[in-house]
A = this chain, B = another copy of it.
């Protein structure tokens, strides 16, 4: 019998308890013993089938030698940070989906885990149930990773899908997402790219082996996307998607940012709809590989957490060292990244040609909409200074 503790009992915590119970047979077959939730840390006791497992005293978990894995689902930094450190120091594996904590203290917690020869795993922090961190660090480990990008925020993607498929405005689509429980009352973290930004930091840390600091990563969300741009892009064979991107520019140079992009409809990623997420990884041997699935939700996220719990048990004591360097140097301005750009301007085609030399016209109807050749964002902005720009978006290539 293997016993675990869950810290916090919200959506993810409850999901972990459910998956552990529902799939007990599959789990036992794989790890060779039954897996059981022994203790649940809560601030306020809740009635229900798990009532007798609850405590509000973390030391009861910390001092319990029967508990080998602690699942942290509190979220945020303060209490989650303290308890994670104490659990690792007590020689327990810790599994979490807490992307904010990993962005801010991941390196330190991984070092602590390494010293104690336990795991600190966080597959569920990026892409919900989608296996991505594990494949990135293990299955693709024989590659030099050149780029990682993806649709990392399900709420934004749901809103964009509503705009594309049903012609809804941003405001109406957001309201709908809130009614369905896909978006919070304060949707800032989702629609302004902050959630996607934390996820691309974690992906970049692991892909390139060096810390990417959240504050260095420019994050643009989807608030500025108008229905008009969605429609013009669609007619030209593109979908607009919010992407987090992390790229290697040279051996020790890399960058990362979050911004809406035009993606050509030939790409499978253009067809990732609703709350689904997808992450593309480009390796120097493997080429492009994509991972697709539900990026959030109780059961998918819990599925990834439980898989991490099983991995802790099956590879203990740990031998490998999945971590990164705390030194964040070599991070470049993403304005250097070259791509084509989509512009919608208040102006004529000759204005566009005067600024950019040559362009691919998508629409001329009072305003002019065009794609530039491939240039750096810095150059694109310089050349557009004389124009009256309504929209400027990257085209993914």
| Residues of A near any B CB (own CB < 8 A) | 15, 19-20, 22-23, 25-27, 29-32, 123, 129-131, 134-135, 138-144, 209, 265-273, 278, 283-294, 297, 299-300, 302-304, 306-307, 309-311, 314-315, 319-321
Contact = CB atoms under 8 A, between A and B. Distances in A.
A303 B29 CA distance: 30
Contact of A287 (B129, B285, B287, B307): B129
Given A140-B307, A304-B139, A289 B287 contact: no
Contact of A285 (B19, B289, B319): B19
Count copies of this chain in the complex.
Answer: 2
Contact of A319 (B23, B131, B278, B315): B315
Contact of A286 (B266, B268, B303): B303
Contact of A23 (B23, B138, B142, B311): B142
Contact of A300 (B144, B270, B286): B286
Nearest to A29: B209
Given A303-B285, A307-B138, A143 B271 contact: no
A293 B299 contact: no
A268 B270 CA distance: 8
Contact of A293 (B27, B130, B289): B289
Contacts of A272: 268
A286 B294 contact: yes
A67 B23 CA distance: 40
Contacts of A134: 134-135, 138-139
- Sort A-B residue pairs by CB-CB distance and give the 8 closest, nearest first: A131-B139, A142-B306, A289-B293, A285-B303, A290-B292, A129-B286, A131-B135, A286-B303
21 contacts: A19-B143, A23-B144, A23-B284, A30-B321, A130-B289, A134-B139, A138-B311, A140-B303, A141-B310, A142-B307, A142-B309, A268-B268, A285-B300, A285-B306, A286-B294, A286-B299, A286-B304, A287-B300, A289-B292, A315-B319, A315-B320
